[in-house]
Each structure stands twice: as structure tokens, then as C-alpha cells.
Amino acid sequence: MMVLNDENVTGLPDDATVDYVRTGPGSLAGTYMRRFWQPVFVARKLEAGRAVPLVIMNQKLALYRSQEGKVHCVDNRCAHRGVMLSTGWVEGDNIRCAYHGWAYDGTGQCVEQPLEGRGFAKNIKIGGYPTREYLGLIFVYLGEGDPPEFPRFPEWEKAKLNVGIIDVRPCNYFQNIENYQDEGHIWFTHRGSALEALQLDKLPKLSVERTSWGLRNVAVTPDGRRREVLFGMPNVGAFLVEPHNTKRAGEEHYKAKETAWHHFAGWRVPVDDHSHLQVHTIGVFLDEEPSPEVIKRWHDFTEADEVGHDIARKILKGKLHFDDIPKLSNHVPMVQDEVVQVGQGIIPDRRKGIEFLGASDVGIVALRKLWVEELTALKEGRPLREWHRPEGLVPAAGG
């Protein structure tokens, strides 16, 4: 493995011609991202017989669950007059346009046109995309041809409960990916949060190494405490969070003891160039099957915190102070991260002479090098790496 530390962080490659920020259809980074399965929705929130509109990488989609419970994803535009299919009806395994009744199956093939002659429908097809439900999330493959092997997380499958959570962050996805590599920010941004358990008064030594999946970021404090965050190309992160293990005040129904650190896997999925989905699946390890009350508690915890978004906006406008976050929000680390990421600008200016990277930015340097290498290879038509997370490649707990 290649190891980078604060002694060999030298300049970044000249990536002025490699744009890893814009991911719309036809863009270089968008073409690369579409080669991977992407999570786009929380599975439990898509009811049978319902459709929802989505925008992923500037691409308009209709996600729907058939009457039998199967999930489908098609372009959100009827080929007839361009009406959003998500406003129509789900009938069996098909979705019907609300304008003139054209119906499409899950592959995007038009199967019925009530006001047209027979035989016309077979010539009409819109985009249809493979889907997969896994660990509480719905994944979609938006690339060309057959999808790659679906990436499984066997360690998460062993948890008694897996909970999906999706939130929208109003900035470009890449600064949130960079946040995965920025272990140094933990010791400042997340003061006043549950991460205080890492003893944030002891500044760490930072290093990063390449793996078969992407990167391993390591922070070691002077007293030997070690925290790791794994990054998987192109936009996945994995980390562990300390379990609660004790009954909370006022929650007499909480009986199942948490037996291991919570496993977080997260994706940063572009909505467009100016916003992205922050996606997590949380593996919760318990000593017994979770009761309905425990499941509800976790579902309530994972609901998007609109109060938190409002706090972040007010801090950025100078109406509140950063130190007010722990007193006002139930999702302290998320709000703290939103403030510092959105505060960089919707798309930060990363040009040399504007941005000055230091020794603590080893992870940022390593990430950008990976992206430049991969996008340059794609642009030149050379083979790309086959990224793989072997079972057992999980981050250290941080204790």
C-alpha cells in the first residue's frame, strides 16, 4: 500500500482540465459516477403503488414501487408530450402518464397508448434503470450496458437492524467527499458533539494509505487512541460510532442492549452541481430482535432535521453562532458539517494560490490524485481500476 504522511505531501497534479465537480449527463465525472450503483431513496418511504420524482446527477427520474412491491426507475418524461410520469398512476408493474394515458413498464418500454392505433407503442421506449433494495436503501444503476456486480456489505448484514437515512445538503457533492478524508476537522468542527468522546483536546497525527477500495484515513492521538475512516471510490465512506448501550431517561421501552459500535456506510450522491444527497445506512447491533418501539426510535432519529438546516442557514448569515448548535439541534455533527461545507461556497475555488493545503491535508491530496488518475484514464480511453472492498475491511472503532 502507498502511504502518505506529512513528510511527503507535495503538490497536486495539474488537474485544471479534469473536472470532478460537474456530473450531469455527458460530463466526464458524471460518466464515471454512472459506472457505480448509487443509493437514491429510503426503501421504507416508497409505498406500493406510488411514484416519486428524483433528480440524480442532473437527470430527472421517476422511482416507483409496483402493486406487488417491486421497485422500478425510469426517465421522468413521457415520450408523448414530456409530462412527468411521477404525477401519474402506478398500475400493476407499470406507470401511466396522467396526460394521455401512455403506460410504460419498468424497463421504460411503452406498453399502451389508449388513443393511438395498435403497434405504435412498440416503437416507443424511454430510459429504464436497474434497481436494488439493500440495507434500507434503494439503489439505481444509471450507466450504460449491464450493471457491475452489486457491492455488498456483509458486516452490516449481520446487524439486527439496518436503518437508511437521506438528507439534502445545499453544496456540491465533492466537498462532502473531501470531508471524509479530512480527519483533522473532527478536532475542531465537532467540539460540543458526541465526538467529544475522542478527547478532542489531544491533537492527532494524520496519515492516509491506499487500499483495494480507495483510501484509509487514520488519526492517532498522543495517548495512542486511533480513529479510522475508510473511503471507497468514487463516493462511499465507512466509519464506526460508539453505541449507547444504556437505557435513556424516559425510554422505559428500550430493552435491547447495543452490543457493538454502530456501522455507518455513507454515499454522497449529486442531485445537480449545486446540491447532493447525503446518504447513510446504519447497522445497529443488538442482543435481541428490535421491538417496534426501538425501530420507531431509530426511524425518528433518521428523519431529516429541518430545524438543523435552518440553524445552519442562520449561522452562515451571522444570525446565530457556531457554538449555539449543540443547544438547538438533535443532529449536532450533521449541522456542524453543513455549516463548514456550505460555507466554502456552493462550488469552492480550489485553484492554487486561492487554496493553500498544508500537512494535515494528506487525505485531500490523496483523494484528488485518485480522481485525477481515474478521470484522466477514462478521458484517454485507458482501463480503469476495479475497486473492491474485501469482507473484513472495516474501520477501527476509535477507542
Helix ranges restricted to H, the chain = 28-33, 154-157, 173-181, 186-189, 292-301, 306-316, 325-328, 332-342, 362-380
Q: What is the CA radius of gyration of the chain?
A: 22
Q: Does residue 232 carry a pLDDT above 50?
A: yes
How far is residue 176's CA from residue 169's CA, in Å, rounded to a whole number? Answer: 9
Nearest to 217 by CA among 67, 44, 363: 363
Residues 161/298, Cβ–Cβ less than 8 Å: yes
pLDDT for 255: 55
pLDDT for 194: 72
Reply yes or no: is the peptide bond before residue 234 cis, omega within 30 of 0.
yes
Q: Which has the minimum average pLDDT: 142-146, 363-367, 393-397?
A: 393-397
154-380, which class in CATH?
alpha beta
Residues 172/347, Cβ–Cβ less than 8 Å: yes
pLDDT for 8: 36
How far is residue 285's CA from residue 261's CA, in Å, rounded to a whole number? Answer: 7
Q: Is 44 exposed, middle or buried (0-12, 13-18, 19+ CB in 10 A)?
A: middle
pLDDT for 247: 44
- Decide if 49-129 and 154-380 have a common fold: no
Provide DSSP, 184-247.
GGHHHHTTTSGGGGG-TTSPPEEEEEE-SSEEEEEEE-TT--EEEEEEETTTEEEEEE----SP
Q: Which three cell numbers stand for residue 32?
A: 464515471
Residues 74/196, Cβ–Cβ less than 8 Å: no
DSSP 14: -
pLDDT classification of 10: cutoffs 50, 70, 90: very low
pLDDT classification of 353: cutoffs 50, 70, 90: confident
pLDDT for 4: 38
Mean pLDDT across the chain: 90
CB atoms within 10 A of CB 282: 22
Domain limits of the chain? 49-129, 154-380
pLDDT for 128: 98
What confidence tens digit (pLDDT) does each residue in 233-266 have? Answer: 999 999 998 886 444 444 544 556 888 889 999 9
CB atoms within 10 A of CB 147: 18
b vs e for 364-389, b when ≥16 Cβ sit within 10 Å of the residue's Cβ?
Answer: bbbbbbbbbbbbeebeeeeeeeebeb
pLDDT for 245: 46
Q: What is the CATH number of domain 49-129?
A: 2.102.10.10
Which residue in this structure is represented by grid cell 452541481? 273
pLDDT classification of 331: cutoffs 50, 70, 90: confident
